């Protein structure tokens, strides 16, 4: 059981503390930005065009 227990590093704890200091508006704007990026990436397609030398 002890092996499965995970602990947070100091850096992760600091990130969580910083996130809690943000206002609801800032959290909403960040979530909206991430959602828009996700939607864009979902629609994206990678197309390979061979290099044509002249």
Give residue for tokens 């290099």.
51
Please provide the average confidence, as pLDDT, over all residues in the chain. 82
Q: Following CA atoms 48, 52, 53, 54 in sequence, which dihedral angle do they give, to the nearest 10 degrees? A: -150
State what percent of residues in the chain have pLDDT above 90.
24
pLDDT tens, residue by residue, 20-42: 888 889 889 989 999 999 999 99
What local confidence, expressed as pLDDT, does residue 6 receive? Answer: 61
Cα torsion 19, 25, 31, 37: sign = negative
Confidence of residue 46 (pLDDT cuts 50, 70, 90): confident
Q: Following CA atoms 31, 37, 40, 44 in sequence, which dihedral angle do they give, to the nearest 10 degrees? A: -140
Higher pLDDT, 8 or 43: 43
């Amino acid at each position: 059981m002890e092996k499965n227990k995970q602990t947070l590093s100091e850096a992760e704890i600091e990130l969580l503390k910083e996130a809690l200091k943000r206002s609801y508006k800032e959290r909403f704007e960040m979530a909206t930005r991430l959602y828009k990026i996700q939607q864009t990436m979902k629609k994206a397609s990678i197309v390979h065009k061979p290099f044509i030398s002249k």
